[in-house]
Amino acid sequence: MRERKESVSCWVSQKEKLRLKELAFSKGMSLSAYVKFVLEGPLKEDWSPKLTVLDEIEEKTRPIKICTTESEAEALKRVSLQRGQNVQTVVIAAIREFLLSKPQIDEKTKKQIVDSTLAINKVGTNLNQVARVLNAQNKGGSITSEVIETAVSSVNGVNRKVLNHMKFIETLLKEHYYRSKIDEREKS
């Protein structure tokens, strides 16, 4: 059975279209045949671009029209209600998850992460206070230096873990809070 053919269209500038026509003519092909010829290479390859989120925020958004079935639209509406987001935000999160190969977080999860980070930050602050008290007692000579060194070392270890966690969460939130620009990095 013959494979059904589909049409694909895209917008290019007049200059780009003329250049494509010139290239097609130089190969003795129609514009359609040339574009198909150009696309055959990437379609045959395992082309998995490395996408990253840049620090800069995109200045413009561009509308894309999508068509869904009634059941898909209802499912999107249910998910958006569960997440407390509008359908557009859910769709954008799904697209970003696909493009970046990273799960996207919803507002409720983002709030939980922020709250847990604040709690962890308080733990770090308390550990610093414990270290200060131990140092003060050590200067007064009321405890041995081995005890203070062990305690300070433990406090510093936990403090490092807290700081690493906070940096990780900061990066995670940056990737999800703003609609940051997605950039394709060349394969190394």
Query: What pLDDT, in 10s, does the model give residues 40-53?
Result: 776 666 545 555 66
Dihedral sign computed on CA atoms, order 168, 172, 173, 178:
positive
Position 112 in a domain? yes
Q: Phi first, then psi: give them for residue 134, nearest 5 degrees.
A: -65, -40
Position 73 in a domain? no
Total of domains in the chain = 2
Position 132 in a domain? yes
Q: Chunk the chain into consecutive blocks of 10 residues (it has 188) and report each block's average pLDDT, rounded to whole numbers.
A: 74 85 86 82 60 61 84 89 84 81 73 80 79 77 76 80 80 65 56
Region of 72 please: left (phi>0), alpha (psi -120 to 50) or beta: alpha
Residue in the block written with tokens 């045959």: 44
Residue range(s) defining the domain that contains residue 144: 107-178
Position 35 in a domain? yes
Q: Phi first, then psi: give them for residue 181, nearest 5 degrees.
A: -70, 135
Position 91 in a domain? no
E strands present in 5-144 = 50-57
Position 2 in a domain? no
**Local structure of residue 3 (DSSP, 8 states):** P
pLDDT at 187 (0 to 100): 45
**Whole-angstrom Cα distance, residue 174 to residue 105?**
11
Position 1 in a domain? no
Position 81 in a domain? no
